[in-house]
Structure 1
């Protein structure tokens, strides 16, 4: 897959490195020549020094053959304009970064396929961890319909010393992994949960608080 990434900041660099490791053909664009020179020695990708809002730069990057165009510069207007240019060249999927969430609808109405705000994602993640004491980590699934929560079962837990098949509310959650110390156990109905076990639980969004209390209180 040919992926063009505009903006070699923290997000662009990390994304490019990860995608290169997975075997994708990556092209990076940035207006800072010094950054381009530095990154060219670190990532196995084509590095273009130029303005991603210019057709000449996009054509040099091979926009006509690109499968995905990702704009993650620090300027929303640049991300929007270059994404729309990429669309005009027939790129199947465009992804643009925003900082202000109120721009999301505008970007989508104008034709950007996916609009992301790393700052908003991080803020929501921290807010959820604050609102849900006892949760070690969480992952949002799909469009937010479900979450994966990580708990360490306390001694007082309602689920401690019970087998999975004997727990209530099976329609609201699914235990997907259990760590007993460093040992990973694939859950089955006959496994007994013990205090100190670390469990990963897939939970419907509207049942998160109920399941959190069930495992932790």
Structure 2
């Protein structure tokens, strides 16, 4: 994919580096010549010096042919202008960094396909780390109605040696909770387990559940702090 990133700050450059390593073609747009030089020389992506809301710069950067545009500037008003212009030029995927939640509806009306509230995301990660220190990662879906939880299984965990089917059939396992991913060892691929998959100590699992059931699920597995 050809991806444009508006803004070569810390977030924009980290995105560029990550997406480049994933095999995408990346270009950043920024008014700072030093940031653009860093993007070219240190990261190895294209960089266009100028405003990401300047149509001349956008056309030079190839907005008409890009598959996705990421608006990663600090100012929501400028990001809103990027979203509007990207929609005008027919960009299929428009992702935006939102600092002020008051901009959520304007971003939706302007045509953003993905809105990432950076402040809310940071707060959520911190709260989860405090509330569930034994959880490696937690993602919210459908406005927080569903959680996907990543867990490392210790050698002495209560579920070690059990199959996914045995766990699911246990009456103490929260109803509606599903184990959807399994990685036996860090160097192995993540797989979608079936009922006969045996959970080993030192493995990693992905579990989908309701927010109200996370504590019960951790307690069942013997992972509660």
Could you tell me the TM-score, scaled by structure 1's length? 0.82
1:70 aligns with 2:70: yes
**Per-residue deviation at 1:7?**
0.4
Greater Cα offset, 29-38 or 162-171: 162-171
Residues 164 and 199, structure 2, Cα contact 8 Å, conserved in 1? yes
Q: Give the conservation status (yes or no) of the 8 Å contact 1:203–1:211.
A: no
Q: Structure 1 runs of 4+ off > 4 angstroms?
A: 160-164, 178-194
Q: Deviations over 1:49-89 (max 9, x none)?
A: 00111111111111122221111011111111122112111
Which position in structure 2 is the counterpart of 1:174?
179
Structure 2 unaligned blocks of 5 or more: none
Question: Take 2:6 and 2:64, find their aligned partners in 1: how far apart are those partners?
Answer: 15
- 1:130 alignment counterpart: 130
> What secondary structure is seen at the aligned counterpart in 2 of 1:95?
strand
Once the 2 structures are TM-superposed, how far is the Cα of residue 179 of structure 1 from its aligned partner?
A: 4.7
Distance of aligned partners of 1:75 and 1:183 in 2 relative to their CA distance in 1, 3 Å threshold? closer
For residues 164 and 28 of structure 1, do their structure 2 counterparts lie closer, same or farther at Cα, with a shift above 3 Å needed? Answer: closer
Kept in 2, the 8 Å contact 1:153–1:199? The answer is no
The offset of 1:213, in angstroms, is 1.0
With over 3 angstroms needed to count, the CA separation of the structure-2 counterparts of 1:19 and 1:153, relative to structure 1, is closer
Partner residue, 1:149: 150
* More divergent stretch after superposition (165-174 vs 2-11): 165-174
Which of 186, 207, 215 matches 1:202?
207
Contact 2:140-2:147 within 8 A present in 1 as well = yes
Task: Give the 3 Å change call, closer, same or farther, for CA 192–112 of structure 1 in structure 2.
Answer: closer
Q: Is the 2:7–2:29 Cα contact (8 Å) retained in structure 1?
A: yes
RMSD after superposition: 2.9
- Per the normalisation by structure 2, the TM-score is 0.79
Tell me the residue number matched to 1:10: 10
User: Where in structure 2 are the equivalents of 1:46-65 lying within 5 Å?
Assistant: 46-65=46-65
Secondary structure of 2:84's counterpart equals helix
Rounded to whole Å, the distance in 2 between the matches of 1:181 and 1:7 is 34
Taking structure 1 as reference, are residues 67 and 201 closer, same or farther at Cα in structure 2, changes over 3 Å only? closer
